[in-house]
Amino acid sequence: MALNSSVTEFILFGLTQDAGKQKAIFGVFLMFYLATLLGNFLIVVTIKTSRTLGSPMYFFLFYLSFADACLSTTTAPRLIVDALSQKKTISYSECMTQVFASHFFGCMGVFVLILMAFDRYVAICKPLRYTTIMSHHVCRVLVILSWVGSCIHASAQLLLALRLPFCGPNVIDHYFCDVQPLLKLACMDTYVINLLDVSNSGAVCMVGFIILLISYVVILYSLRNHSAEGRRKALSTCTSHFIVVVLFFGPCIFMYTRPATTFTIDKMVAVFYTIGTPLLNPLIYTLRNAEVKNAMKKLWCSQV
């Protein structure tokens, strides 16, 4: 419980209060969520069981799909259930858990995308040293560091939320708990906490995006020395990665790198990166990747 807080539960306003629209939200987001779980589950199982997908790129894709499924699970079920529920309450401890989980899995996604870009950089720019640099041991260490980094980021966000005192108003104008919506309910001057929130989440988004942008520029520059076939294959892989990066980082930068101002579009932008991107990632990686498609066909045809 926060210091000096008299609030034991919050009410989530959701996306809308219109009864007709809420039924539509229930149907649409239930389909989106099930499709997200199915798509990411297929990728996780295919990579885990396939002998052809043993390269570091697929090792990282495994963790990206896992993080995507978990990120969607931290927000979507609550949104779906609340769409048909009269009582849209969430306890204080549940709310704080949601703050931690959404930032943990969101940050994990950021770090894994950086690792995937690093893998492509080594594969294209240092092909002779690729197997030495991107050994299984190195990949495992990089993923562990990503988990640790995500935990530090999420813990910092949780500490900011726990420091907020709530004295009365408890209606969160959002469909899940996050630091920014909670700031509006706190009965204290939130300038410093907002600054810390922006410098933490905003830094993860901006620094991550800049690192990825630089890595893809370096990759594109180095491709001029490759054969036409090598260029085509590398561009195909990098295009998939870059589409995912833009879809994920665009909304994140919009949400977390600005002062405490609220726009009407905020909730829809949040929907896009917490539910939309985890749904699109499996489609982008499977539809644009022949190796994954072939491995899936082999696995599921053999099962049938």
- Phi-psi region at 4: left, alpha or beta (left = phi > 0; alpha = psi -120 to 50): left
State pTM to two decimals.
0.90
pLDDT in the model for residue 1: 47
pLDDT in the model for residue 4: 47
Provide long-range contacts, Cβ within 8 A and 24+ apart, for 97-101. 98/74, 98/176, 98/177, 98/178, 99/154, 99/157, 99/158, 99/161, 99/177, 99/178, 99/179, 99/182, 100/154, 100/155, 100/157, 100/158, 101/70, 101/74, 101/154
Q: Of 87, 96, 204, 225, whose CA–CA distance to 159 is shortest?
A: 96
Contact 110, 137 (CB under 8 A): no
How far, CA to CA in Å, does 261 sit from each of 14, 106, 159, 185, 246?
Answer: 19, 22, 21, 14, 23
Looking at residues 216-236, what average pLDDT do you find?
79
The helix/strand count (H/E) of the chain reads as 12, 3
Contacts of 100 (CB under 8 A, 6+ apart): 154, 155, 157, 158
pLDDT reading at 98 higher than 50? yes
Contact 289, 238 (CB under 8 A): no
Distance CA 267, CA 140 (A): 35
Highest mean pLDDT among 20-29, 44-53, 265-274, 284-293: 20-29
User: What percent of the chain is predicted at pLDDT more than 70?
Assistant: 95
- The CA dihedral of 11, 16, 17, 18, to the nearest 10 degrees, is -160
**172: phi then psi, degrees, rounded to nearest 5:** -85, 120
Burial 247-257 (b: 16+ CB within 10 A, else e): bbbbbbbbbbb
Q: For the ranges 30-44, 113-127, 146-160, 214-228, which has the lowest average pLDDT?
A: 214-228
User: What percent of the chain is predicted at pLDDT more than 90?
Assistant: 43
pLDDT in the model for residue 20: 84
Q: What is the pLDDT of residues 245-301, one digit of tens each?
A: 888 888 888 888 876 666 678 888 888 888 989 998 888 877 777 788 888 888 777
